[in-house]
Amino acid sequence: MKKLYAVIGNPIGHSMSPIMHNDLFSFYQIDASYLPFQIKSEDLKDAVDGFKAIGIGGFNVTVPHKTAIIPLLDEVDELAASIGAVNTVVNENGRLKGYNTDGPGFLKGLQAFMSGAASKKILLIGAGGAARAIYFTLAMEKPDAIDIANRTVAKAQSLIDDCPYSVKSEACTLDEAGRKLGEYDLVVQTTSIGMAPKIADQPLDLSNIKKHSHVCDIIYNPLETKLLQDASNRGANVQNGIDMFVYQGALAFEKWTGIFPDVERMRENVLKQLGGLHVNR
């Protein structure tokens, strides 16, 4: 019987996950469909119960349900529980188990470009939900340090205080981070600054950037943010948010099917969709 997979969020119409996963199901000849469902917060429990009742194979969870879903699941894995957010649910013999593939997806994307985070001095920009998943995941990779720069420094400090994995970290303002930018091997931008339509914005001044450092922006619309253009002009290696998106999806697909999918195929598919979006705007 055809299996159902899904993504739930509100809004959900923009999600590229259905096209990405349906293409993979057909490519690997798996009899399954992946559908988007717009679910209001007050309906979340009913939606989860309904999914369980129909024997769903698994589903992704996006804004605003990543944290609220946790008490509705039968089990949550350790990393997702410490991050406090679930983006992937797997139906394991009738029990719904939550995982977080956002942080690990970011790390896998990073490793496809460079040796990873071990022994690196890292600057994380932002202290929201995405920063939290990335910070906790990178903290386990034994980096030299991960400093967090945020408009609201107290939020960066709470993120540091919350992290269960031991890592050297300081919280600072965006201006302070700009002044000491020469110290960092890797800069990871996780805020919405520079996202379409406000593409002229940039979170910090890059005058002091270390040559040949690596700069990641988790934004993929536009494909090259002002920050990445600036970093590239100054001799840094740059990486946009497509990799994190594709690898979080690949890790979810692997949890559901046991197959780690062809990420190049996924990347091409996503880029094709984004290209369409740009043309249509």
Provide CB contacts within 8 A for 274, sequence distance 6+: 16, 220, 221, 223
Nearer to ligand ATR, 30 or 228 (CB): 228
Nearer to ligand ATR, 52 or 155 (CB): 155
Please give the size of the binding site for ligand ATR, defined by CB under 6 A: 14
Provide CB contacts within 8 A for 134, sequence distance 6+: 102, 103, 106, 107, 124, 188, 190, 218
142 is known as an active-site residue? no
**Contact (Cβ atoms closer than 8 angstroms) between residue 185 and residue 213:** yes
55 is in an annotated binding site: no
Cα 80 to Cα 130: distance, rounded to the nearest angstrom: 12
Does position 205 interact with ligand ATR (CB under 6 A)? The reply is no
Nearer to ligand ATR, 32 or 156 (CB): 156
Nearest residue to ligand ATR, by Cβ distance, number only:
128
**Contact (Cβ atoms closer than 8 angstroms) between residue 271 and residue 14:** no
Provide CB contacts within 8 A for 167, sequence distance 6+: 138, 139, 143, 145, 146
Which of 2, 3, 45, 66 is flagged as catalytic? Answer: 66
Does position 52 interact with ligand ATR (CB under 6 A)? The reply is no
The sign of the dihedral angle between the CA atoms of 221, 254, 51, 128 is: negative
Structure tokens at 18: 């259905």
Does position 186 interact with ligand ATR (CB under 6 A)? The reply is no
Write each residue from 128 to 157 as x if it is in contact with ligand ATR (CB under 6 A), else as -, in one continuous string: xxxx------------------xxx--x--
Does position 126 interact with ligand ATR (CB under 6 A)? The reply is yes
Provide CB contacts within 8 A for 166, sequence distance 6+: 139
The least CB distance from residue 193 to ligand ATR, in Å, is 5
Residues acting as catalytic residues: 66
Binding residues for NADP(+): 78, 126-130, 150-155, 218, 241
Report the interface residues with ligand ATR, using CB under 6 A.
126-131, 150-152, 155, 190-193
